[in-house]
Amino acid sequence: MTRAYVASMCLLVHFAAYAAEDEELPVAVFSYSDTSCGAWRESATDKYLRAQYSSWFRGFVSGYNKGNPGNQVQLERMLEGKALFLFVDKYCEDNPSNPFVSAAFQLVEELRERPNATK
């Protein structure tokens, strides 16, 4: 994979129109040039690209945590490796017309703390 290809993917901005359902405005998500679920499926055999995607998801969740210190995704709850990939696979299966990076919003929603929730 060339540096130019990686750099171009990382520098392009994608505006996710599919933020959380309770959000009124779209959220600007810095992401890849092609965020389609098709691109996600095609990356299944590219371990280097999947490693980049994994890092991107971790960065997204870290950014969420920074902005929401009282409602975080705890370190032990964050999905790793195959578990993360299966999560995004399922998201794309259920939402084929959405960008795969929108799975990050669902990931946070499912894994974050809920301080006021009863256990």
The predicted model scores a pTM of 0.72
Average pLDDT over residues 31-52: 93
Q: How many whole angstroms separate alpha carbon 25 and alpha carbon 83?
A: 30
Mean pLDDT of 28-48: 91
Torsion of CA 36, 38, 41, 43, to 10 degrees: -70
Count of other CB atoms within 10 angstroms of residue 57: 23
Higher pLDDT, 96 or 18: 96
* Structure-token match 């960065």, residue found: 59
Q: d(Cα 58, Cα 22) in Å, to the nearest integer? A: 22
Spans of all domains in the chain: 35-111
User: Lowest-pLDDT range, 2-6, 24-28, 50-54?
Assistant: 2-6
pLDDT at residue 34 greater than cutoff 80: yes
Question: Helices 81-94 and 47-67, interaxial angle, to 10°?
Answer: 80
Residues in the chain: 119
